[in-house]
């Protein structure tokens, strides 16, 4: 088999890179880093960037942070090279015509059958547990300090879970208590997990919120502090003493994103 790379290969590869930069890669990096949100056509993402989502899924259990970007770009470049090679070997029709036809077809499919790949506001890349974990790590030794996360986007059945939050914070899962905050607990909205071990979003559409994080030397002290901020809650503050007892305790309280 002749594996020589001809001029068409490099042209098609450049075209694929430019298309993906404009419609997929830049928007996805914006999602990761907190920049402006742009929703690319979903089937462009399926076709051009499937290695990116495989990479994200494979490394989802590893806290690579921003390092996941060069890894996923490398995998996607390999896919582009394979696609460019196949298109460049076609005879009787220019690879650019084939690529143009693919773009038009994907655009039509995306218009007729829209499907949300990832929501705006950090939704796909930023796990709410990671964001809360970072804020607890920054707050755990600053009693009474109040911090607020960036926007957190919940897909259907997504959870804030104490067992997932304590990775970097250096505390036990039973030292975190949760509150739905300004969202009344509702079976069709946010609700608490068993024993106040987290929060789950039951809505069918994605929901973007923020969370206040505050820590105190004990559950009793934390409950007293929360009584001074009743405007954070649509009903009642959580009972953090029941969750943490006399141990150091942190509260995670959902708030409107605005």
Q: For residue 124, what pLDDT band results from cuts at 50, 70 and 90?
A: very low
Q: Which of 164, 73, 177 is nearest to 127 (CA)?
A: 164
Task: Determine the Cα–Cα distance for residues 170 and 168; give it in Å rounded to an integer.
Answer: 6
The residue count for the chain: 258
With cut-offs at 50, 70 and 90, classify the pLDDT of residue 127: confident
Instruction: Round to whole Å and give the CA distance between 184 and 188.
Output: 10
Output DSSP code: residue 117: S
Region 1-8 average pLDDT: 61
Identify the CA nearest to 257 among candidates 121, 136, 118.
121
| Residue pLDDT, tens place only, 173-197 | 899 999 999 997 776 789 999 888 8
Token output for 226 = 């929360």
**Tens digits of per-residue pLDDT, 67-98?**
666 777 777 788 888 888 877 777 666 766 77
Nearest to 144 by CA among 251, 18, 242: 251
pLDDT value of residue 141: 85
d(CA 59, CA 54): 9
pTM attached to this predicted model: 0.55
pLDDT given for residue 82 in this prediction: 82
Q: pLDDT band at residue 199, thresholds of 50, 70 and 90?
A: very high
What pLDDT digit, counting tens, does each position of 23-56 carry? 666 666 555 554 555 555 566 666 776 776 666 5
CB 20 within 8 A of CB 76: yes
In the predicted structure, residue 120 carries a pLDDT above the cut 60? no
Output the six-digit token pair for 80.
């582009």
Q: Using only C-alpha atoms, what is the Rg of the chain?
A: 23
What is the rounded CA–CA span in Å between residue 256 and residue 248? Answer: 27
Nearest CA among 187, 199, 192 for reference residue 154: 199
For 128-174, the pLDDT digits (tens) are: 888 888 889 888 888 889 999 888 888 778 889 898 887 656 788 89
| Predicted pLDDT at 195 | 86
Separation of alpha carbons 17 and 196, rounded Å: 47
Sign of CA dihedral 146, 151, 156, 161: negative
pLDDT top residue among 6 and 149: 149
């Amino acid at each position: 088999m002749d594996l020589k790379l001809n001029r068409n290969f490099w042209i098609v590869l450049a075209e694929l890179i430019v298309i993906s930069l404009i419609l997929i890669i830049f928007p996805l990096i914006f999602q990761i880093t907190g920049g402006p949100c742009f929703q690319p056509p979903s089937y462009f993402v399926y076709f051009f960037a499937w290695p990116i989502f495989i990479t994200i899924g494979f490394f989802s259990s590893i806290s690579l942070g921003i390092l996941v970007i060069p890894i996923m770009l490398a995998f996607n470049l390999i896919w582009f090279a394979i696609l460019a090679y196949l298109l460049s070997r076609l005879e009787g029709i220019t690879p650019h015509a084939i690529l143009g036809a693919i773009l038009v077809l994907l655009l039509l499919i995306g218009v007729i059958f829209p499907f949300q790949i990832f929501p705006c506001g950090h939704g796909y890349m930023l796990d709410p547990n990671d964001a809360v974990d970072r804020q607890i790590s920054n707050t755990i030794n600053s009693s009474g300090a109040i911090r607020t996360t960036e926007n957190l986007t919940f897909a259907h059945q997504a959870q804030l879970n104490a067992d997932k939050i304590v990775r970097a914070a250096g505390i036990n899962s039973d030292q975190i208590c949760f509150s739905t905050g300004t969202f009344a607990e509702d079976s069709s909205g946010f609700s608490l997990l068993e024993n106040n071990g987290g929060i789950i979003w039951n809505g069918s559409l994605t929901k973007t919120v923020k969370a206040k994080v505050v820590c105190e030397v004990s559950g009793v002290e934390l409950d007293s502090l929360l009584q001074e901020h009743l405007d954070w809650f649509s009903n009642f503050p959580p009972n953090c003493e029941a969750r943490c007892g006399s141990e150091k305790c942190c509260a995670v309280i959902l708030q409107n994103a605005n």
